[in-house]
Structure 1
Amino acid sequence: IKNALDAMLDGGELLILSREAENNVEFVFKDTGTGMNKDVLEKIWTPFFTTRAKGLGLGLPICKRIVEAHGGKISVESIVGEGTTFTIAIPMSIEAKAKEGGENVWVSTPASLLSTTTKA
């Protein structure tokens, strides 16, 4: 969300959506910011890569590791001058193994939508 807001220097829209897709819940973050070119897209998952003067370049690599640790995937599409869309897909039903003597737990998530507009 912070990256999207930073990319919309002159204001814009940020759409945040969660939805059921196959056996996953998807979280979509779509902004109308500056977008990223191919060279930047190829490097965004690399630790310490940043396009910001004060950035550390750890946010997206850490997000990717967290998503993958939960059995999910994260993808990105971007068009320079139009914006960027990140999609996170996490398995919707996860069987949590109980410790000795406990019960297995199934977790699922409902769909929701949040849309916001920023102004410069």
Structure 2
Amino acid sequence: MQSRAHPPVTASKLQISAQGVHATFRPQWRVPMPWVDVCDAGELDDEDAIGFDHAGSSYAICRAEDGEVFCVDGLCPKDGAHLAGGLVEGWFIECPMDDHRFDLRRLTGYIVRQTAGRIEADLPS
């Protein structure tokens, strides 16, 4: 049952009316995705990148010079080339097609973990 005092709740936000005061609720959590097994940790050298596909999307798993592992969208934002074919130097990956360099820390990234000698990523399904 709907009334003028209580508008319907929508999926994106909730407004509560109490004597003219409005509160907005926006959930700050996200549903964790199932971990995707990407590769053996020993396969990924320092300053190396490996490409893989999952659920119709391409990804690149990269190890920076300090050993930090990144999982990023696998296609170049400029021309759509596979980034895994590019050079990794420091925190940058170079597109093999046009030599553009991208900071791994600024590309769309996904959570990565290393478990039992394997690298896994938290990817959308």
Query: Normalising by the residue count of structure 1, what TM-score does the alignment of the two structures yield?
Result: 0.23
Q: Would you tell me which structure has more helix in proportion to its own residues?
A: 1
Which fold has the larger relative contact order, with Cα–Cα distance below 8 Å and residues 6 or more apart in sequence?
A: 1
Query: Normalising by the residue count of structure 2, what TM-score does the alignment of the two structures yield?
Result: 0.22
Say which one has the larger Rg: 2
